Amino acid sequence: MELGQRLILGELRRRVRLPFGPVQSKESPSALLTWFLGCELDGERTAAGCKIGSMRIAECQEHEVALLDRHIPSPGVVSSHARRHARQQAGSSTFLVAWHDGQPVGSCEVRWDGCTAPEVQAAHGDCPEINGLGVWPESFRSQGIGTALIRAAEELVRKRGGKRIGLGVDENNPRAAALYSRLGYHPAAPYLDRWSYQDVEGVTHQVADACTFMIKRFQPDGS
Ligand SMILES: CC(C)(COP(=O)(O)OP(=O)(O)OC[C@H]1O[C@@H](n2cnc3c(N)ncnc32)[C@H](O)[C@@H]1OP(=O)(O)O)[C@@H](O)C(=O)NCCC(=O)NCCS
């Protein structure tokens, strides 16, 4: 085995005990978080559960918003990426992006003020929320990227001393709900996810999706 491969395997072994430890990124020096997962273990799930060759997850930088808009679809004149980045700038969220080969392949936003739906705010307003989780293009799904984003979000909340984290899942998305259950999330509150966007003609579209807010409580052993 070559030295490079031994170093990579050593790093992966270390991450079995300490998954998602931070490392420095030359591309985004101001990013607080960067994770490398996988590396030369093609076709196998690594300790972190990610099947693609290599991936990093980092906070979104301002200059990356346009790239996200090009690669990852979002409705409306002001893209959801721009809005998520603006909230990050304001300090109310952390916008995480997964990168593979220089392309964004997924993202999610940790909203520190919790889910905005009044039904959820009333009961779980102090529970940070993973919002807008998605993996693109579709061919990249089911390879562990979504799970890696969720784990990264959980780690952020833990580092801030949080004891739990939540996310909303559409009632018509049983596969996603199954994934969240597997990762330790439990149904906590039904709610209507109300959101709107303005199309290129300036028309505002109101959307309301029936969802369930699911919560994961962190265990003392870090699971
Ligand atoms: C849901 C989603 C974020 C999961 O990300 P992912 O990278 O595919 O997830 P992982 O690879 O870590 O886990 C895959 C598991 O997610 C589940 N899953 C949920 N929705 C899925 C979808 N649309 N396609 C594939 N898998 C999906 C499956 O149970 C799958 O398990 P499997 O690999 O054993 O078949 C991603 O599939 C996606 O972007 N879906 C469309 C947008 C969406 O539904 N977002 C969730 C909003 S609550």
What are the tens digits of pLDDT across the range 56-87? 999 999 999 999 999 998 877 778 999 999 99
Q: Is the pLDDT of residue 218 over 90?
A: yes
Distance 179 CA to ligand 1 centre (A): 7
Place of tokens 């939540």: 166
Closest approach atom of ligand 1 to CA 173: 44
Distance 6 CA to ligand 1 centre (A): 32
User: Structural domains in the chain?
Assistant: 57-217 (3.40.630.30)
User: What would the DSSP string read from start to end of 168-201?
Assistant: EEETT-HHHHHHHHHTT-EEEEEEEEEEEEE-TT
How confident is the prediction for the chain on average, in pLDDT? 81
User: Once rounded to an integer, what is the mean pLDDT over residues 26-31?
Assistant: 34
Cβ(58)–Cβ(99) below 8 Å? yes
CA distance 46 to 40: 10
pLDDT tens column, 128-170 = 999 999 999 999 999 999 999 999 999 999 999 999 999 999 9
Q: Which of 138, 142, 165, 170 to mutate to test the pocket of ligand 1 (most atoms within 8 A of CB)?
A: 142
52 CA to centre of own chain: 16
Cβ(206)–Cβ(194) below 8 Å? yes
What percent of the chain has pLDDT above 70? Answer: 77
Neighbours of 67 (CB within 10 A): 17
Q: Is the pLDDT of residue 19 over 60?
A: no
| Alpha carbon nearest to ligand 1 atom 1, residue | 176
Q: What is the pTM of this model?
A: 0.81
Closest approach atom of ligand 1 to CA 147: 12
User: Once rounded to an integer, what is the mean pLDDT over residues 181-186?
Assistant: 98
| Alpha carbon nearest to ligand 1 atom 7, residue | 146
